[in-house]
Amino acid sequence: MNANEIIEIENKFTSGVYAKQTLTIVRGQGASLFDADGNEYLDCSSGHGVANLGHAHPKIAEALYKQASTLITLFESFPNDQRAMLMQKMTSLVDGLDRVFFCNSGTESVEAAFKFARISTGRKNIVAAMRAFHGRTYGSLSATFNKKYREGFEPLLPGFSHVAYNNIEALDKAVNEETAAVILEVVQGEGGVYPATFEYMQAVRRICDERGALLIVDEIQTGFGRTGKMFAIQHFGVIPDLLTCAKSIAGGVPMGAVLIGKNIKNLVPGVHGSTFGGNPLSCAAANAALDVIQDEDLAGQAEAKGKYLLDKLMEINSPNIREVRGIGLMVGIEMKQKVAGYIKSLQEKKIIALNAGMTVIRLLPPLVITYEQIDQLVEALTEVLSTDSVTE
Ligand SMILES: *Cc1c(COP(=O)(O)O)cnc(C)c1O
């Protein structure tokens, strides 16, 4: 199939819920993606933060092949060697989070966290943040802020409210004895790459403790080395009660998980479950991915490369840039104009970047991106961002 055939077929049969690119990607290697004609692109999206290990990592391929020819599926009521190993690894990542629930995607991990928070506290209300993105199924959509995702799907779940992010006073007013949990991203991703402040995270933990509310941190985008630590919350010395993760957990293979703290009660058989959750194939991929993250010190790489990238971006002298912000290899460039045109121009220069809202260019490259590739990215950005954006 050539590129035009692929595009034609997808356009004909798609559900319609995706804005389709005109670029057909058929292969990946490290931080590179290749189209059907063999052209190479620098991937600065990682599939929204999935491909932290890069594409086609041999350790993931090997683990998948081995496990696929051993055992792919097994319901979690039957213990399994790969799952047991992964439980040990996952619960060793954050002190105090010593149980784990496995599922298959980000939104499922958020749904599980909400159910755990309600069954544990006997309370109903969830406080989330403005600009938050937590997923698109009904529970997580109720916590997601942007009306672009919510409109047309009401009624959403009752008991959800939103307060300004990084605003201690607003949170202080919103959390009370009826609050089951506060849910926050440690760095708001879809919302525009806004990191939490240190003071805010300390206050969030204190306010939750004072009122008996649980703290859920959503690390679906920030997890597994992206920000320079295994989890972004580790920059803050704060331990949440529930930590949701997915995206890069299994080297690109679909999986989600919730790490669970000591304060969570009433998790007894039947309370929750998932047919595919904790299947040996995904667990084997995640075991391999966690080994790679540790062996190759991907968090350390993200920290060093992120600093290198940010320093270079700060040097770009363009009147069109409002602000550059980020942590590790999670970077946002806020422009004074809409960014769709910039992202298109970058693609013409063989760079795949993301937006976050209308005015922010978001960079989430694989953590294995090379310094040469970062230089290539900076060079393209320097050229593209010095021009006025051609908007659609
Ligand atoms: C991507 C994302 C989700 C949703 O994950 P899916 O796997 O698409 O359901 C939830 N929260 C955050 C912070 C995300 O980045």
For ligand 1, residues with CB inside 6 Å are 48, 105-107, 110, 133-135, 185, 189, 218, 220-221, 246-247
pLDDT for the residue 391: 55
Task: Report which of 84, 116, 105, 107 is spatially closest to residue 261, judged by C-alpha positions.
Answer: 116
* Residue from 50, 104, 133 to probe ligand 1 pocket by mutation (most atoms less than 8 Å from CB): 133
Integer angstrom CA distances of residue 319 from 192, 316, 322, 336, 387: 20, 9, 8, 8, 9
* Residue from 18, 220, 274, 362 to probe ligand 1 pocket by mutation (most atoms less than 8 Å from CB): 220
How much is the CA Rg of the chain, to the nearest whole Å? 21
Ligand 1 center–CA 135 separation, angstroms: 5
Ligand 1 center–CA 52 separation, angstroms: 15
CB distance 251 to 288 below 8 Å: yes
Atom 7 of ligand 1, residue of closest alpha carbon: 106
pLDDT for the residue 387: 85
Claim: this prediction has a pTM higher than 0.95: yes
Which regions in the chain score pLDDT beneath 50?
392
Q: What does residue 174 show for φ and ψ, rounded to 5 degrees?
A: -85, -25
CATH of domain 71-295: 3.40.640.10
Q: Where are the domains of the chain?
A: 3-56+297-385, 71-295
Q: Name the residue type at position 10.
A: E
pLDDT for the residue 389: 67
**Residue 259, beta-bridge partner list:** 100, 243
CATH homologous superfamily of 3-56+297-385 equals Aspartate Aminotransferase, domain 1 (3.90.1150.10)
